Amino acid sequence: MQIIRKKNLNKLAFVNAHIIDPCTKMDGIGTLLTQGKKIAQVGVGLSKNRIPNDATIIDCKKNILAPGIIDIRARLGEPGNEHKETITSASNAALSGGITSLVSMPDSDPIVDQISVVEFIARRARETNGVKIFPAASISKNLEGKKLTEMGLLLEAGVVLFTDANRSIGNSKMMHQALTYSDNFNILLMQHPEENNLSEGGAMNSGSLSTRLGLPGISRLSEIIQIERDIRLLENTGGKLHFSNISTKESVDIIVKAKKRGLNISCSTAPHYFLLNEEAVGQWRTFAKVSPPLRNEYDRKAIYKAIIKGDIDAIISDHSPHDQDSKRLPFEQAASGIIGLETLLQLSLKLVHQGNMKLIDLLERLTYTPSKIIGLELGRLTKNTAADIIIFDPNQKEIIDPRKFKSKSRNCPFEKEPVKGKILATVVDGRIAFQNKSQKMIA
Residue 380 lies in a domain: no
Enter the pTM of the model.
Answer: 0.96
* Shared domain check, 77 and 50: no
Query: ∠ at Cα 167 (364, 89), nearest 5°?
Result: 60
* Shared domain check, 356 and 228: yes
* Shared domain check, 286 and 236: yes
Residue 412 lies in a domain: no
Residue 204 lies in a domain: yes
Residue 379 lies in a domain: no
Length of the chain: 443
Cα dihedral sign for 75, 81, 85, 90? positive
Q: Tell me which DSSP letter residue 25 carries.
A: T
Residues with active-site annotation: 318
Residue 107 lies in a domain: yes
Distance from C-alpha of 54 to C-alpha of 164, rounded to nearest angstrom: 49
pLDDT of 441: 57
* Shared domain check, 132 and 55: no
* Shared domain check, 57 and 79: no
The CA dihedral of 206, 209, 213, 216, to the nearest 10 degrees, is 0
* Among 248, 335, 237, CA closest to 294: 248
pLDDT of 443: 46
pLDDT of 48: 74
* Shared domain check, 270 and 321: yes
* Shared domain check, 195 and 344: yes
The CA dihedral of 212, 215, 216, 219, to the nearest 10 degrees, is -60
* Shared domain check, 331 and 274: yes
CATH of the domain at 177: 3.20.20.140
Distance from C-alpha of 310 to C-alpha of 299, rounded to nearest angstrom: 16
Residue 155 lies in a domain: yes
* Shared domain check, 324 and 286: yes
* Shared domain check, 98 and 30: no
* Shared domain check, 187 and 218: yes
CB 74 within 8 A of CB 160: no
Provide the residue-wise pLDDT of the chain in tens; the chain has 443 residues.
788 878 889 999 999 999 999 999 999 999 999 999 999 999 998 877 789 999 999 999 999 999 999 999 999 999 999 999 999 999 999 999 999 999 999 999 999 999 999 999 999 999 999 999 999 999 999 999 999 999 999 999 999 999 999 999 999 999 999 999 999 999 999 999 999 999 999 999 999 999 999 999 999 999 999 999 999 999 999 999 999 999 999 999 999 999 999 999 999 999 999 999 999 999 899 999 999 999 999 999 999 999 999 999 999 999 999 999 999 999 999 999 999 999 999 999 999 999 999 999 999 999 999 999 999 999 999 999 999 999 999 999 999 999 999 999 999 999 999 999 999 999 999 999 999 987 655 54
Domain extent, residue 14, equals 2-66+386-395+421-433
Distance from C-alpha of 281 to C-alpha of 217, rounded to nearest angstrom: 13
CATH of the domain at 59: 2.30.40.10
Cα dihedral sign for 92, 93, 99, 102? negative
Residue 244 lies in a domain: yes
* Shared domain check, 150 and 88: yes
Number of domains forming the structure of the chain: 2
Residue 170 lies in a domain: yes
Q: Would you call the peptide bond into 418 cis, given omega within 30 degrees of 0 as the criterion?
A: no
